[in-house]
Structure 1
Amino acid sequence: MTADPLAEIVTLLQPSASFSKLVEYAGRWRIRRDVEGRPVYFAVLEGECRVVGANQPPFIVRAGDFVLSPSSNRQVIESIDAPPHGVDMLPVELGEGRFRVGRTSAPVNLRMQVGVCSFASPDAALLVSLLPAMVVARGEPRLATLMQLVGDETRQSRPGRELVLERLLEVLLIEALRCGADTASVPSLARGITDDRLVLALRAMHTRPAHGWTVADLAAEAAMSRSAFFARFNRVVGLPPMEYLLTWRMALAKRLLRTREFAIPQVAARVGYGSASTFSTAFARHVGMPPARYARDGAAG
C-alpha cells in the first residue's frame, strides 16, 4: 500500500485541542500572540484584518480565509487602520467560548473562529520542520466547518471526546496543508506532495523506509536525472533528499523505540540500517543520545 507522506506526518504529530473560541474585534486594535510554538489557526467569518508573521511581509485576510501557523512563536494580527504603536490589546471574555477585542462601544469589524492546539509527539519540532511556517487557504468553507466541529467538541464532555478531537484536528491540518495557497511559494513537504514528480519519490521513501535508498534510486522513482531531481527536491521541499530521508527514518525510529516492542537491531532494520551499530551511531549523532538510552527515557516519560 502506498503511503501518504502528509497524513503520516500529521498523524505522528498527535494533535490535541487546547481551545477554540469565537472572537469579535471592534475599532482599531492589535493582538500580539506568543504561544510558545503551539500551532495557531483561525477562520475569518466576517470582515478583514492584517497578519504580520516573523520573517515574511504582512498580508490581508478576509471572510472565507483560513490561516494555519504550525510553529508560530510570534504573530501580530491587527485592524487594517491600526496605527504603528499604542493599540495592543487583550481579548475580554464575553461568555463561554466567546471573546471581544477592542472598545465595547465601537462597531464590530471582524469575527474569527480562533484555535490553538498542541502536538503530543516528542518529535514535534522535527516533524513541524517539514511543514510550512504559515499556510493561508482562501475560499475553502470546509475548513470553517471543521473548526466549528472542533469548537463544539471542545466545549462538550461526550464519550470519546479526546479521540474525536484528535481525528478532527488531523483532518483540519491535512485539509489546510493540502489546499493552502501559500504552500506554492514556501519550500516544505506540503509543496513537495503537490509536485507530480517529487511526490513519487516522497511516497517511495514513506512506503519503504527500510530500503537502501540512494539519490539515484529516488531520482529514478521520480523519472528524473539525478542532478535535476536533487536540485528540484532541495528547492521545493527545502532540504536535500537524503537529509529528508534521515529525518523521516529518525522520526520512525523514535516512535518504535518508545514502544519498546522491538529490540534495537529490529528497529535498525525497519528504518534502513544494515546493523545495530551503524544505526546507533547515526541515531546518537542525530538525536544526541544512544537509542538504548532514548528507549529507556522515552518509556519512562
Structure 2
Amino acid sequence: MVDPLAEFVTLLQPGAPFSKMVSAAGSWRVRRAEAGRPFYALILDGSCRLDVTGHAPITLEKDDFVLIPAAYDFTMTSREPPAPDVADTVPVPLSDGVFRVGDPGEEADLRVLVGYCVFASPDAALLVSLLPRLVFVRGEKRLSNLVQMVGEETRERRPAREVVLARLLEVLLIEALRSAAGTAASPGLVRGLADIRLAIALRRMHEDPARPWTVAELANEAALSRSMFFERFTRTVGITPMAYLLAWRMALAKDLLRQNGLAVSEVAERVGYGSASAFSVAFTRHVGLAPMRYGRERPEGEVLATAAPRAAPASAPAG
C-alpha cells in the first residue's frame, strides 16, 4: 500500500544546513520576520512562549517540539515577555553552535535546540502549501531523540554526513507530521490523512495517479456522497480533490523530468495524460515552462526558492 505521507516527504528532499543550542535566562524576546524557511525547535529544559502569526500564543515546555514548514513571522520570548517598548534581544555566541539570550548573570532557565532545514524539491513551495502552517507536538520522546540526532549530525563532520542527515530529516518530518495528525492541525495533507474516509481517497490518488479519477469515483472510494466528499475534502485538505490531484501529478512530473531524463510522452503516461501534447499544455500552464525545457534547465525562481540558506552569523536570533 502506498503511503502518501512518506511519498510526500521523500519528494520534498529535506536537508538540515544549520542548528544551534540556545540557553536563556530572565526576560527576553527574539523575533523572526524573513523569507520562509522551515524552522524547528525542541525544548530540552525549561519553558518559553511562541507567537506565530495567525495562531494563538503557545507555551512550550520540556520535550515539546514545534515545526513551522514556512516560517515568515514568529516570536519566541520568556514565559513573561518583555514590555512591547523593550528592544528585541540579540543572542550572544558562546561557542560554535551555542548561543545565549537574556540576562547573562542569571542561571539559565531554558535550553532549546533550534534549527532550519531546507526542502530541495523544485516543487517545494507547492508541497509545503499542503502541510499544516504549524506543527506542535507535546512530550514525544521518540521525536526528541530524532531532533537531537539531527543537531549532533549537523555539527559533526563525520563521513557520509549529508546522506545521514537526509535520512534523519525524512524520518523526523514523518514522525512530526504523523504525531500531529490527531491534533487540530490547519488544513492540509496531514489533516486529510487523519480523516479515515478522506485518507482512503488520498491513498488511491497516490497509488494510481495516472488513473482518470473523477470526484464521483473518489467519493465512492471514501464511501461518501459526491457533494459530502467534495465539501469535506476541500475543508480538510484546503483545496478541491481535483486541484490536489493536479498538484500531485505535476509534482511527480517535475521529479520525473529532472531525475530520470524520461521522454515527455512517458512522463505524460505516468501522470495520467493520454497524449504528450495534452500533458505539455497542462504542464506549461501549471509550471510556466514547457516540459522539455523544464527537463533541461531548473528555472531561476525555483533555484532561489529552494537554495540552502547561508549559515547564520554569530549575531543571528535564536529563532
TM-score, length-scaled by structure 1:
0.95
Give the match for residue 58 of structure 1. Answer: 57
Q: Is the 8 A contact 1:135 1:182 kept in 2?
A: no
Q: Deviations over 1:50-107 (max 9, x none)?
A: 1111222222111121100011122111112212231411221112322111121123
Give the match for residue 28 of structure 1. Answer: 27
Give the match for residue 267 of structure 2. Answer: 267
1:186 equivalent to 2:189? Answer no
Give the match for residue 235 of structure 1. Answer: 235
Q: Is the 8 A contact 2:258 2:295 kept in 1?
A: yes
Counterpart amino acid of 1:38?
R
Q: 1:183, CA displacement in angstroms?
A: 4.6
Give the match for residue 246 of structure 1. Answer: 246
Q: Deviations over 1:27-72 (max 9, x none)?
A: 1100112352111101111222111112222221111211000111
Give the match for residue 214 of structure 1. Answer: 214
Give the match for residue 116 of structure 1. Answer: 116
Q: Is the 8 A contact 1:33 1:73 kept in 2?
A: yes
State the distance in 2 between where 1:186 and 1:92 align: 35
Give the match for residue 158 of structure 1. Answer: 158
Q: Is the 8 A contact 2:280 2:291 kept in 1?
A: yes
Q: 1:25, CA displacement in angstroms?
A: 1.0
CA RMSD of aligned residues (A): 1.7
Q: 1:261, CA displacement in angstroms?
A: 2.4
Distance 1:299 1:71, change over 3 A: closer
Distance 1:231 1:185, change over 3 A: same
Q: How many residues align?
A: 300
SS class of match (1:70): strand
State the distance in 1 between where 2:154 and 2:85 align: 35
SS class of match (2:136): strand
Worse-superposed segment, 12-21 or 180-189: 180-189
Q: Deviations over 1:99-149 (max 9, x none)?
A: 111121123221111111111111110110110111100110111111111
SS class of match (2:80): coil
Q: Is the 8 A contact 1:29 1:89 kept in 2?
A: yes
Q: Deviations over 1:174-201 (max 9, x none)?
A: 1111112785241110111111111111
SS class of match (2:36): coil
Give the match for residue 169 of structure 2. Answer: 169
State the distance in 1 between where 2:247 and 2:69 align: 18
Q: Is the 8 A contact 2:94 2:100 kept in 1?
A: yes
State the distance in 1 between where 2:233 and 2:252 align: 21
State the distance in 2 between where 1:176 and 1:35 align: 24
State the distance in 1 between where 2:224 and 2:282 align: 29
**Which structure has the higher relative contact order (CA within 8 Å, separation 6+)?**
2
Q: Deviations over 1:207-254 (max 9, x none)?
A: 111111111111111111111111111111111000000000000001
Worse-superposed segment, 19-28 or 255-264: 255-264
Give the match for residue 12 of structure 1. Answer: 11
State the distance in 2 between where 1:154 and 1:185 align: 29
State the distance in 2 between where 1:196 and 1:85 align: 48
State the distance in 2 between where 1:139 and 1:43 align: 10
State the distance in 2 between where 1:160 and 1:202 align: 35
Give the match for residue 104 of structure 1. Answer: 104
Distance 1:181 1:294, change over 3 A: closer
State the distance in 2 between where 1:85 and 1:7 align: 45
Worse-superposed segment, 127-136 or 40-49: 40-49
Give the match for residue 196 of structure 2. Answer: 196
Give the match for residue 79 of structure 2. Answer: 80
Give the match for residue 223 of structure 2. Answer: 223
* Structure 1 spans left out of the alignment, 5+ residues: none
Q: Is the 8 A contact 1:183 1:190 kept in 2?
A: no
Worse-superposed segment, 96-105 or 178-187: 178-187
Counterpart amino acid of 2:132?
P
Distance 1:4 1:260, change over 3 A: closer
Counterpart amino acid of 2:50?
V
Counterpart amino acid of 1:30?
R
State the distance in 2 between where 1:155 and 1:24 align: 17
State the distance in 2 between where 1:6 and 1:156 align: 29
SS class of match (1:84): coil
